[in-house]
Amino acid sequence: MTTVTEREREEIEHLLPWYAAGTLSRRDAHRVKAALANDPELARRYDMVREEHGHTVHLNETSGAPSAHIMERLFAKIDAEVEQVAPPFNLGARVHEFVAAMHPRTIAWYALAGAVAIVLQASLITGIAFKSPAAFETASMSGPVKAIGSFALIRFQPQASAEEITRFLSDNKLRLVDGPSAGGIYRVKIAAVPLSRSKMAERIKTLQNEHVVSFVGAAE
């Protein structure tokens, strides 16, 4: 029979609630089990613990549950947050996904067709450029539309929450237009019109002072 000192007995008595709940380590559980087998008074106190355990569980199990509308309200909030911070448009990932889904022969055909299109486009642009020097002026109804406004490149702090980023964008009247690219950089529209160099520098400096960003730079 193992002799247990008074201090060890007290230590073991302190562990009884966890022994009853089955949350002791294997080593401690073994210690308690051995002590209980040799100490009738400790075993009697363990019976009290088991009684308390059972009634605590009963008390909790009969204390009700939250109403169903709590879940509806929670997921409405989550949906609203998801809509506010729509997943960023990742062109690279989309192209990769598209190509990965195709048969190798199809990819080869697309590559060939693409090469032909590039050659034709290059010839066309060269021809237009030589014929009409004014052709680069912006046309209002046809031709490629140049992005209007001022843009910045922003990287957010990794610790920034979706809520903080949303608030930052909203407070500064910014709009995410692309990203994230390599290094987690987003392209953000910061003004509807092209800003002068000094105004742009001023705006960038203001944004750099925000704690949710780790980098802000002017974009072309």
User: Which spans of this chain sit near other proteins (rule: CB under 8 A)?
Assistant: 13-15, 17-18, 20-24, 44-45, 48-49, 51-53, 55-60, 63-67, 70-71, 73-75, 77-79, 81-82, 87, 159, 161-163
As to burial, measured by CB atoms within 10 angstroms (0-12 exposed, 13-18 middle, 19+ buried), residue 76 is exposed
List beta partners, residue 186: 154
Q: If you write DSSP's letter for every residue of 139-180 in order, what string do you get?
A: PSSSSPPPPPSEEEEEEE-TT--HHHHHHHHHHTT-EEEEEE
DSSP code, position 65: -
| Cα 55 from Cα 52, distance rounded (Å) | 5
Please state the closest distance from residue 74 (CB atom) to other proteins, in A.
5
Closest to other proteins by CB, 67 vs 198, is 67
**Nearest approach, Cβ of residue 181 and other proteins (Å):** 19
At closest approach, how far in Å is the CB of 55 from other proteins?
5
Shortest separation between residue 57's beta carbon and other proteins, angstroms: 6
Residue with structure tokens 């949906």?
A: 79
Q: Which is nearer to other proteins, 17 or 184 (CB)?
A: 17
Give, as one character, the DSSP assignment of residue 39.
-
CB of 8 to other proteins, least distance (A): 14
Q: Which residues neighbour 218 within 8 Å (Cβ) at sequence distance 6 or greater?
A: 150, 151, 152, 153, 200, 201, 204
Alpha-carbon span 76 to 70, nearest angstrom: 10
Closer to other proteins at the Cβ: 4 or 42?
A: 42
74 vs 120, beta carbon nearer other proteins: 74
Closer residue to other proteins in complex, CB, 21/135: 21
Rounded distance, CA 220 to CA 216, Å? 13
Ordered strands of the 213-219 beta sheet: 175-181, 185-191, 150-156, 213-219
Nearer to other proteins, 65 or 145 (CB): 65
CB of 111 to other proteins, least distance (A): 32
